[in-house]
Chains A and B, each alone.
Chain A
Amino acid sequence: MSRVSLPTLEVRGVRVCFGGVIALRDVSLKVEGGMRYGIIGPNGAGKTTLFNVVTGFIFPDRGQVFINGTDVTRLAPHRRARLGLARTFQITTLFLDLTALENVMMGAMVTVGHHRSMWRSAHLDRDARALAEALLCELGIGHLAYVPVREMAYGQQRQLEIAVALSTNPRILLLDEPTAGLSAVETRAVCQLIRGLRKDLTVVIIEHDLDVIFDLADHVTVLHNGSCIADGPADTVREDPVVKEVYLGGWRRSGASN
């Protein structure tokens, strides 16, 4: 029921300018609860900027952002996170000097409400630790719990990034190019992982890899030069002549830059 009636994330007429350059031109999108929502577009189309607007790192010049119907356009990033919004970054953003377990515990401590404690021992915190260990195992990197992130392989770091994002028990997850820089095998593993995510979790994915996006997403928005040029169910968008011409065609001609 609520999956249909409750839009969990909505962007309405958002415009962002950097100096004189328009990065996002009146972009709107509506992500319903439990959706797998894909955003594609060439480099510089404004995909990551859109994520930054949604998570609060950039305030838009015009337009609004709603989470569960609440206007969060001017809310600080950490307050939006508390509303159940989580994200990964295109450039791996983890705590390099900490272990994988500590990385995931950082969010788990918030989930169990112990993040303000100054007295209990973080490592002996049974609740947060159980949650973090379960997450690491679920994502198939349980054996790396005590390895400092600095010493982990890139592909493992990308997986950990998703584990960390999930550690706050979010309701909306934004994935910014989760397979960027991964090998074919690793890409398959990450896709598998994303497909296995809780069904009530709303997932928005930015991707360069079209196979990945059409494999995972049931709804796709195409961004081009900061504008939304197509939007609809994945199958429809794939066959859209405008998209084929402007985006997919251009993509093939440019020789798959990624």
Chain B
Amino acid sequence: MKREVALVLLLLSFAAVPLTGNEYWTGLLTQALILGGFSMGLDILVGYTGMPSLGHATFFGLAGYGTALAITRWGIDPWAAAGIGVLFSSLVALAFAPLAVRLRGVPFLTVTLAFGQLTWGLVTRWGSFTGGENGIPGITRPSLSVGSWGLQRPDGFYLFTLAVVAVLAFLINRFALSPMGLSLRGVRDSDRRMLVLGYSVHARRTMAFVVAAVAAALCGTLSAFFNGYIGPGSLDWRFSAQALLGVVIGGAGSLWGPFVAGAGLHVLKTYICGETERWALILGVLYVIAVVVLPGGLASLPERARKLKEVLRSPTGHDASVHKRL
């Protein structure tokens, strides 16, 4: 019960952000929420199923491109276009997954990277259709208005994003806690054991891949609407790496950790890019710090705090084993 109340309060405080009237903050937070959802979805694949993908931006970008093309080339209504974009991207994932899930570890990482690069190459070269390096501007947001208030306004779109991402986060959590989610953790730990229990390991890994791709696709479409633009940057492998780092820094398998880290990385990136162009360098340093200092990611912080409290409260004031771990 306490948990539910805390979640509602958190949601309400997020919903109150536009009241500050600061459009810059509202905009930054919109994009941060989208990227948080993106990393959270990726956690199903990386943390739950143990499949580190370095090409997940592909499904983020393809959904954005699908939506953009449907609107700007064929004049389809933005709502329907969003559906087309998400569906297109999910189908590409469904087609690619059976091939990729046969591999694991580094070969899997490599093949997802290769697939991402292939898509990126295709989109940048096919300029007449996809806009090439310039991308596609002029993506109109869907219409949903209450009086003078609607999705065309920054605060309106922010609240819309918050609602979509909250529902997405809820669904991902529900999925993770279901028998299906538990079986994905089984696949991560021992596929031999899963096979003799009667689970098709390939089918489960495909499921994880597609679920993560659908989440990415939703976020990609939101992002395209928010920016009114989609470009090849959304397919870039560095964007995939950023999402993957979000999972690692947040704590793989915890879902909320990757969400916070994915959102936080975007805010950080926005600030740092204003100061210097060494974003990649800083991302790398962050990664090293996360792996060395905080192997469990942000998600391990509450547990560490609890242990620290125990140590401070214990009469001797120290416990060698706990100190070592802290």
B-binding residues in A (CB < 8 A): 55-57, 76-79, 81-82, 85-87, 89, 93-98, 102, 105-107, 109-110, 114-123, 125, 128, 164-165, 167-168
Contact = CB atoms under 8 A, between A and B. Distances in A.
B199 A120 contact: no
**What are the 5 closest A-B residue pairs judged by CB atoms, nearest first?**
A81-B198, A95-B189, A77-B195, A122-B182, A118-B180
A122 B178 contact: yes
A75 to B, nearest CB: 12
A198 to B, nearest CB: 18
A115 B200 contact: no
Contacts of B193: 89, 93-95, 106, 164
Given A94-B190, A119-B178, A121-B177, A109 B195 contact: no
B190 A118 contact: no
Contacts of A110: 197-199
B182 A116 contact: no
A193 B197 CA distance: 21
Which label, helix, strand, loop or mixed, suits the secondary structure of the B interface? helix
A85 B4 CA distance: 43
Given A55-B196, A86-B196, A110-B199, A96 B179 contact: no
Nearest to B181: A122
B212 interface: no
B194 interface: yes
A93 B192 contact: yes
A98 B185 contact: yes
Interface string B172-213: 001101111111011011101111111111000000000000
Contact of A98 (B189, B196, B200, B201): B189
A188 B198 CA distance: 30
B195 A96 contact: no
A98 B186 contact: yes
B182 A105 contact: yes
A117 B183 CA distance: 10
A77 B198 CA distance: 7
A81 B196 contact: yes
Contact of A81 (B179, B181, B189, B195): B195
A203 B21 CA distance: 72
B194 to A, nearest CB: 7
A78 B183 contact: no
Given A77-B196, A106-B199, 4 more contacts: A55-B196, A57-B195, A116-B180, A118-B175
B213 to A, nearest CB: 15
Nearest to B198: A81
A85 B181 CA distance: 24
Interface centre among A78, A93, A121, A123 (most CB of B within 10 A): A78
Nearest to A87: B196
Contacts of B177: 121-123
A112 to B, nearest CB: 9
Contact of B179 (A85, A86, A95, A117): A117
